[in-house]
Amino acid sequence: MDTKRFETEVIHKGYHALQHHGSLSPPIFQTSTFVFDTAETGASRFAGEQEGYIYSRLSNPTVAMLEERIASMESGEKGLAFGSGMAAVSAILLGLTKTGDHILCSEGVYGCTFGLLQLMEEKYHITHDFHSMSDEDSIRGSITDHTTVIYIESPINPTMKLVDIEMVARIAKEYGIPVVVDNTFSSPYLQRPLELGCDVVIHSATKYLCGHGDVIGGLAVGSNELMSHLAMTTQKDIGGVMSPFDAWLLLRGIKTLPVRMDRHCENAKKLSELLKEHPAVETILFPGDPEFPQYELANKQMKNAGGLISFQIKGDKAAAQSFMNSLQLIKIAVSLGDAETLIQHPATMTHAVVPEESRKQMGINDQLLRLSIGLEAWEDIWSDLEQALNKI
């Protein structure tokens, strides 16, 4: 049976019952190394002449099933699994650049990605620039002879600003520059950048793909040629690989991604409307809001608006922190995509590493909060938000 629908692929892709003695749940191959029948077998595997497993830093059956599944979900040829989202980001960016190269980035990026870009510039003279990517002419004007990667988030963390992925990919192809997209905020269920013309898509699998707050992991998908090259270089030699147990947990979590994302999106839509009307809220940033500046773009490239809402409290940092401290159901934590609703203060948490001036240019001020809507009854989430908002 050739299954193609997303909701079916997330449950079945890569699973071969006959290989696993009929076990419905994929086995965890919790082993560091693999035994060769003969010395010649070992030699031929190391030479690349014979398929088979060698050592779990290079490949592992449980991890390979996850890689096959995420490749299918993103409409790509080959997936790679990493020990964290940042292990994926660093392996991809280091694998696509060398000393003297330039990276063109979207206007905002995750705080640790910002830190990595700074490190690459300071240590390896790989420069970068942040760009609004709002129109074709300005993008072309920012591409230099040394630009070897265009790196974007969409939606951008935590301002929720969108990048027209198809437009960026079209321009990049004119110059032969690969486009890398961090798709963590959307998941493959809501947005698939490879189908829009990009070359590599990255996920912090810790977030929506896991969905249960119990895994640290990263995933990347692209062409077979590029991913195979990265697998044998920056993934293998830097070594930020995923464990078999974490891969197994992710395979379990991914099975419920579509139903979870539908609930996240439904809850976020209702709560955004309520937050927007509360007198203690200055502004909300949510792609599903008809007044969001890029609402039409969201409808064009996303299946739904997602489960994240950023909003600004009226007042100052003390007011924002007081509000957070008054919450009872909602947890103060820096992740997202979990069953639980989580809230964080970007300026002092996820983006604290970013200098204040750069933060403000990204649109991150002391009043901004990022809310990851969970799977609870939306009425209970709102009750908690409302009582805390009323106190300020």
Contact 258, 304 (CB under 8 A): no
What tokens were used for 84?
Answer: 């964290």
Given the residues 57, 252, 255, 314, select the one marked as catalytic: 57
User: Residue 375 carries which side chain, given as an amino acid letter?
Assistant: L
What tokens were used for 129?
Answer: 């620039």
DSSP annotation of 50 reads S
Which residues on neighbouring strands pair with residue 311, listed in sequence order? Answer: 284, 369
Given the residues 164, 182, 338, 366, select the one marked as catalytic: 182
Distance CA 365, CA 350 (A): 13
User: Residue 268 carries which side chain, given as an amino acid letter?
Assistant: A
Helix (H) or strand (E) holding 86: helix 85-95
Is 174 exposed, middle or buried, given 0-12, 13-18 or 19+ CB atoms closer than 10 A?
A: exposed
Distance CA 48, CA 31 (A): 21
110 is annotated as an active-site residue: yes
Q: How many helices (H) and strands (E) does the chain have?
A: 16, 12
Alpha-carbon separation of residue 372 from 47, 216, 221, 280, 360 (angstroms): 47, 17, 25, 19, 22
What tokens were used for 5?
Answer: 């629908």
Distance CA 7, CA 25 (A): 18
Residue that the structure tokens 């009872």 belong to: 328
User: Residue 119 carries which side chain, given as an amino acid letter?
Assistant: L
Contact 389, 280 (CB under 8 A): yes
Q: Buried (b) or exposed (e) across 348-369, using 16+ Cβ within 10 A?
A: eebbeebeeeebeebbbbbbbb
Distance CA 365, CA 107 (A): 15
236 is annotated as an active-site residue: no
5 is annotated as an active-site residue: no
Given the residues 192, 207, 260, 359, select the one marked as catalytic: 207
Given the residues 110, 151, 189, 208, select the one marked as catalytic: 110
295 is annotated as an active-site residue: no
Distance CA 381, CA 379 (A): 6
Positions annotated as catalytic residues are: 57, 110, 182, 207
